[in-house]
Structure 1
Amino acid sequence: MNKKCGVSTIITDNKEMKKLVYPLSLSLLVFLFPSLSYSQSGTIKIFSELEDVQVYLDEVPQGTDISIIESVSSGSHYLKLVKDSVIVYGELISVVENETTTVLLKDSKEVQEKLLQGKLNKEQKIIDDNPEGVKQYKEQYLDIMVSTRYITETSTVYESKYYPGYYSSTGKTNVNSVSETKEITDWFIIQGGQQISHNDFAQIIGEQDKIDDIDAQNKIIKRKRSNRTALGLAGLTVGAIGGYFFFAAITSGGSWLMPCIVYVLGFEVGIMSLAMKPKYESVYYDMNEAREKILVYNQNLKKELGLPLSYEPN
């Protein structure tokens, strides 16, 4: 029984030894010959003329702008390169053990067309998913309308030449007509298809300070206009009184010179004062300035409504 037990123990010990020796031997081989562990793998090297490119290998993300993928098992693999959610490269590539497979992504016309189409599709989806934003933008966006008209002006020049003789003179007259057509451009600001004033435009784009400056100027102008009106009415009144005495003096044969002077000067001062009243100021933008401010306003409105910056209403 003891011998049997002894034999059984020896056999069991040999099995345990084998379990320990095999892994140790394999680890030793890998340590001494590391190339054995990579004998079935290769490397992928990526050259890209584009930036911000996401790299996928067999649909597994590898990172952004990755140039080298090491320890790739030999065989066929699907390499996908994505930029701005657009697949700019997607091919099956072969990886050979202990070799490097090179892939080049060029910034070609075809790639740019893919990116542009992808951008347009993405923007169109945003527009389609945001009908309320589109509606509000069409009601609030600003634009400039331009109309052109033509005016033709004609000028005539007469040129005469005379040749005197003994008993008569002869001559000729040349008539030259010149027509000139001028192009006149009118422009105005619209919001949602309706024309608005420059004052309304200033309020919409938030330039209240410009409106306040004009209001302050108009308060001063209002006082000047009131003074001019008072002076004009006083002048007309004095002139009327002078006129009354002037005509009375003429009728009665009295002295009319002084009433005449009062009459003339009074009416002249009155009429000139009323005619020269200063005009009220108003908010005004030239067309180039308005275009720049409209561009900024519309861009901010698109951002606020969640619309693409390239969106323009039909």
Structure 2
Amino acid sequence: MKLIFVFTLTFALTVSICAASGSRQNSTELDLLFDQLFSNLPDSIANTRLTVIPFTENTAQGKGYGESMAEFMIVKIQKFGSFTLVDRGEFQRVVNEISLSQSGMIDDSATVQIGKMLSSQYLLSGSISLLFGKYRITAKLIHTETTQIIRSAAISVNLADLENFSKELLGESGKVSSAVFRSLIVPGWGQFYTNHNVRGAINISACVIATGATGYFTYQTAKYKSQKDKHIQEQSVDSIVKGMTEEQIYEHDNETKRLYYNYSRNFDHMKLSIIALGALWAINLVDASIAGFQAKKKFQLYFSGNISGKSLETGIVLRF
């Protein structure tokens, strides 16, 4: 049992550390991309209008990564504080005017046209391409009037890392039902899915240990029950056929009591371990739902542009 506990805990913690390390590495790479674009910019750029364009996805199938990167840049730029961001509602209105909304494709010439129509001094655009088994993310800061590229930067990220980042940013991993369903199948999976790695490791370790204990006590219960039944049967045959002395009967009775005690004790332990396993599984589901709610409460930027006559409404939605 001790070896099972040590192995399980070591495995779970290893998985947790690896998952956390991968998440931190991906975040660091994206932060590096932003720093390369916006570090040490000239003072003349301060407080100018900036439009962020969804990145172009040069892949076989669009997966929303371009929108994810645009949202990431918007959040970072807001914290950076050196630009006035153009509202997404205004951006969508201009896109509709130049008939790009249906195709969703925005080339370089359209990008500059959008910037000029929005009176935006600078544009941030980019592309995502699949190259040698990794996603190559390229971003560039463009001066609208001269179409000059002020800054450009590029990074490479793993396929799974970009997918997980996109899910988290756009809210897929914030769905409570997704976390609960995963933890229902495998304890701790929902916590890992929402990047609560330590809690995931604790839940999976506790449930695996409880499962191991249940299996162990179930085996011991069956073993002592078989020995007890066999011993009682042998005692009955011996007493009838061979004729047992009182001393032999006393010894057989003591052995029967010993076997029954071991059977009864392991049976009680088996019941307790089953109850403990059920309780831990239920706690795991409750914790997964909490992890899902916590992921959902993360600030996620959703712009909505509704045009009614000349009025324009934009909104930022906080999901709870």
What TM-score do the two structures reach when normalised by structure 1?
0.32
Higher helix share: 2
Max Rg structure: 1
The higher-RCO structure (CA 8 Å, 6+ apart) is 2
Higher strand share: 1
What TM-score do the two structures reach when normalised by structure 2?
0.32
